[in-house]
Amino acid sequence: MSVTVRVPAKVNVQLAVGAARADGFHDLANVFLAVGLHDEVTVAAADELRVTCEGPGSDQVPLDRTNLAARAVELLGARYGIAPDVHIHIAKDIPVAGGMAGGSADGAGALVACDALWGTGASRSELLDICAELGSDVPFSLVGGAALGTGRGEKLEPVEVGGAFHWVFAVADGGLSTPAVYREFDRLTPVAPAPEASPALLAALRDGAVEALAAELSNDLQPAALSLFPSLRDTLATGVEAGALASLVSGSGPTTAFLAADAASARRVADALLASGVCRAARVAESPAAGATLL
């Protein structure tokens, strides 16, 4: 018997970053939006814990116990006294090391899949606790939709979204390390104000107002990501020249995100990005998308 769970990527429509805390993490006001690019995580009983991965960029995915999917299965097994002897297979479609929470999605997916495989019946809040232990973005991968994340990003409140938004994601050649981007943020930002969610941005999401959302997109990690990966400036400019309403770096990057007026415009922006050679791939996707879902 095997169980498969579908998990979405995310874009941060606002990422407000405060000063580094004593534990090394940064306080955030992080407005997550799940987007329709998905990984599928399948688990089945096996002789020992094993991870395999297929799809674009899968050669860069760690297959050892540092993989968040493997750690998720170990944490759930430890709580319920079950040996984590499962084969986890990840069918990857979310850009790897791209700032779209692909690794976090796999963690949330493996957790929900193993909960079903083993019949552990963990409560939603138990699953969310395990997700928070796995990483700052993992709880959101479980819930999907849209949410405001505070603390280091793991404390979630749902955010209302009043319509569909159309996005293009430009996949860069290479990845960026999230800790390195936060270190660069610290270097560039000697005094960071306390992070707060933008009321205008939350209103734009609630109203499904694409122009208003375009005007409010912001990412405090963007200067740091551009400093470490300067060619992203060209990518951002190319998408806007091709008709995107706004552009920003997705999370810690190096994937760049473009908000389009509608699906046809998104397709044109994606074609222009690909034709210009400023990115390795360009993907269109709609938001919001559901969280981790059993197939």
Cα separation, 140 vs 136, whole angstroms: 8
Let me know: does 152 contact 137? Beta carbons within 8 Å.
no
Contact pick of 12, 67, 136, 287 for ligand C5P (by CB under 6 A) = 136
Residue 4 Cβ vs ligand C5P, minimum distance, rounded to whole Å: 24
* Binding of residue 42 to ligand C5P (CB under 6 A): no
DSSP code, position 264? H
Q: How far apart are CA 155 and CA 137, in angstroms?
A: 10
Instruction: Compute the distance between CA of residue 144 and CA of residue 34 in angstroms, rounded to an integer.
Output: 5
Residue 131's closest CA among 113, 149, 104?
A: 104
137 counts as catalytic: yes
From the candidates 39, 106, 115, 137, which is the catalytic residue?
A: 137
Measured from the Cβ of residue 182, the count of other Cβ atoms closer than 10 Å reads 18
Tell me how many residues contact ligand C5P (CB under 6 A): 11
Residues from 164 through 203 that contact ligand C5P (CB under 6 A): 178-179, 182
Cβ closer to ligand C5P: 248 or 278? 248
Q: Which is nearer to ligand C5P, 154 or 278 (CB)?
A: 154
Q: Which of residues 140-159 bind ligand C5P (CB under 6 A)?
A: 152-153
| Through-space distance between the first and last CA atoms of the chain, rounded to whole angstroms | 13
- Please state the closest distance from residue 152 (CB atom) to ligand C5P, in A: 3
Whether 92 sits among the annotated catalytic residues: the reply is: no
Residues with catalytic annotation? 10, 137
Contacts with ligand C5P by CB under 6 A lie at 25-26, 28, 135-137, 152-153, 178-179, 182
